[in-house]
Amino acid sequence: MGSKDEDVTVLLADARSQVSAVTAFEFRSACKSYAKDNVSTAVLKDVSLSAKPGEFIALVGPSGSGKSTLLNLLAGLLKVTSGEVIFQGKPVRAVNTQVGYVTQRDNLVPWRTVEGNLALPLEIRKVSRAETETRVRAAVEQVGLSGFGKHYPSELSGGMRKRVTLARALIYGANTLLMDEPFGALDAQLKLVIEEELMELWHAAHPTILYVTHDLTEAITLADRVVVFSSRPAQILAIENIDIPRPRDLNTTRFLPYFRDVHERLWALLKANLSDTRENRHG
Ligand SMILES: Nc1ncnc2c1ncn2[C@@H]1O[C@H](COP(=O)(O)OP(=O)(O)OP(=O)(O)O)[C@@H](O)[C@H]1O
Ligand SMILES: [Mg+2]
């Protein structure tokens, strides 16, 4: 039989592994600096955040604060300068092929049709041709693009291109989605329609989502928690639980008094940081 201390150590190790098993991802004191021409710029400073499986987290913050950088760390496209990034219990050390990533720039391949673009992640994973065809057909339907499978990206509207990038991120059934201002450029009505579709998808499959947006209203309307970044180097200024029951009516949620309270509070934080950035730049 082990000593009491040993027992406690075993229990702690057990508890820790259980904690990591129930988190979808975690940033532990993550710091990131970029070096260019011998000058190092700190972009993320001590970011600690963990997500439960199936949670919808929205991230807002000033332009250039480091939001895309955070997603790139979780996608394994960048490495932390210090701290750790954990995905489903394991440190991210290489490209994380288990996440679906809707990047800020829609990087559809122009010489491939909608179907060809959707097939690409499956081809890379060496999924059989028959299986690829079935999944591509289902994905085209899922995002409302039936009849457009043979179109090239240049033949699509902005909203349709967004639908293709969403379908491409979903196509291999990743349980975690990183979305970087996915619907930012769309007009208000279309944005609402696509957000509703995203909510339906989320309710059906319950992926964990880390969603970057400039739009605080969108963040509060969609998310379980909203994270507010400061200006660069980004630190977390607030993590707000959004206690609005689901399913939510995306049209009317913004008129709830509770929504207005949260919005006012978070907007005050964001605004203070935006003016910080301006003063720093000109000061
Ligand atoms: N590969 C890189 N090399 C050097 N600096 C970089 C690189 N990528 C980003 N940066 C710098 O890091 C900072 C944060 O960039 P990032 O793209 O993460 O910001 P962001 O919050 O996503 O901004 P936006 O809201 O405008 O998309 C910026 O100052 C940017 O210039
Ligand atoms: Mg960005």
Task: Answer yes or no: is 255 within a domain.
Answer: yes
Give yes or no: residues 210 and 225 share one domain: yes
Task: Tell me whether residue 211 is in a domain.
Answer: yes
Q: What sign results for the dihedral spanned by CA atoms 110, 133, 140, 150?
A: positive
Pocket test for ligand 1, best of 38, 40, 47, 67 (most atoms within 8 A of CB): 67
Task: Decide: 158 in ligand 1 pocket, CB within 6 A.
Answer: no
* Residue 21 CA to ligand 1 centre (angstroms): 31
Average confidence score pLDDT of the chain: 90
Same domain as 186, residue 115: no
What per-residue confidence (pLDDT) applies to 274?
78
For residue 219, give the H/E element and its range.
Answer: helix 216-222
CATH classification at residue 251: 3.40.50.300
Residue nearest to atom 25 of ligand 1 (CA): 63
**Same domain, residue pair 89 and 191:** yes
In terms of Cβ atoms closer than 10 Å to its own Cβ (0-12, 13-18, 19+), residue 81 is middle
Ligand 1 pocket, 132 CB below 6 A? no
Same domain? 41 vs 170 = no
The amino acid at residue 188 is A
CB of 225 within 6 A of ligand 1: the answer is no
Check: CB of residue 32 under 8 Å from CB of residue 73: yes
Claim to verify: residue 190 and residue 231 sit in the same structural domain: yes
Closest CA to 243 of 217, 228, 223: 223
- Give residue 40's pLDDT band: very low, low, confident or very high (50, 70, 90): very high
Residue 47 near ligand 1, beta carbon < 6 Å: no
Q: Which of 127-131, 149-153, 176-180, 181-185 is the least confident region?
A: 181-185
43 C-beta closer than 6 A to ligand 1: yes
Q: In the chain, what percentage of residues exceed pLDDT 90?
A: 74
Are both 230 and 189 inside the same structural domain?
Answer: yes
- Assess whether 34 and 94 both reside in one domain: yes
Specify the pLDDT at position 22.
79
Is residue 17 predicted with pLDDT exceeding 80? no
Question: pTM for the whole thing?
Answer: 0.89
- Report the sign of the C-alpha dihedral through residues 120, 122, 128, 129, in that order: negative
Smallest-distance ligand from the CA of 35:
1
In this structure, is residue 61 part of a structural domain?
Answer: yes
Model pLDDT for residues 204-252, shown as the tens digit of each residue = 989 999 999 999 999 999 999 999 999 999 999 999 999 999 999 999 9
DSSP state of 234: B
